[in-house]
Amino acid sequence: MKLSINIDHIATLRNARGGNEPDPILAAKICEDAGADGIVVHLREDRRHIKDQDVITLRRIVSTKLDLEMGANEEIISIALRIVPDLVTLVPEKRQELTTEGGLDVASQKEKLKDVIERFHSKNIAVSLFVDPEERQILASKECGADMIEVHTGEYADAPSGEEQERSFQTVKLSAELAHSMNLAVNAGHGLNYANVRRIASLPQIGEMSIGHSIISRAVVVGLDQAVREMIQLVKK
């Protein structure tokens, strides 16, 4: 099991004062030194946290894997094709949302996404689609030519009761098994934290977790290096 760290909220804190601190670039290096397998950033259209220069610099200094989350917007696509991250994760994007809400509706835009994926593949950039744990979205992801999916675990993470969490877990499990059977690599993310991550990490079909907010929140108390190491203990053991 691999763990990639989303450092968007380091940039959120930096931008709150309009200065240079805390530095997302330094944060990325601390995460890698603590054992993270990759760095994730979301370059949004409104640039609310990660900026273009952050991605340019991260592409130069990240030694593990750089995963660029993004909407299928032509401006951001062009930036990604120029920077060439190791992985692009296509997500839905709304200006008013606090964080990504729900998975990408791949089934309703297969032709568009197929074209976008082909453009990335022409630059040898792997593509993941962030989708809800639904059969039709997974089948559509395969038809589009995606290399992998990232299963949206928000419903599992936010379940108000143990019964509902169990139901959501089983849905994630079945979706991961389906995607794996179709030779799609499987990642998982959204809402995962120190209390709920172990069950998702136990699924053998899932190869990687993408976690951000809970780690950055924990880092405020114990420091980023320690917060990453604590999550690695949960995810990998």
Say what the pLDDT of residue 196 is: 97
Active site residue 152: no
Say what the pLDDT of residue 100 is: 54
Active site residue 42: yes
pLDDT in tens, 191-200: 999 999 999 9
Active site residue 190: yes
Q: Give every residue of the chain whose pLDDT is below 70, as ranges.
A: 94-101
Q: Which of 9, 32, 49, 69 is catalytic?
A: 69
Say what the pLDDT of residue 5 is: 98
Q: Which of 42, 134, 150, 155 is catalytic?
A: 42
Tell me the CA distances in angstroms from 138 to 35, 74, 112, 156, one per residue in order: 30, 24, 16, 18
Say what the pLDDT of residue 76 is: 97
Domains and CATH numbers, the chain: 2-236 (3.20.20.70)
Q: What spatial distance separates the first Cα and last Cα of the chain, rounded to whole Å?
A: 9
CA atoms of 200 and 172, how far apart (whole Å)? 8
Say what the pLDDT of residue 237 is: 76
Say what the pLDDT of residue 94 is: 62
Check if the beta carbon of residue 21 is closer than 8 Å to that of residue 228. Answer: no
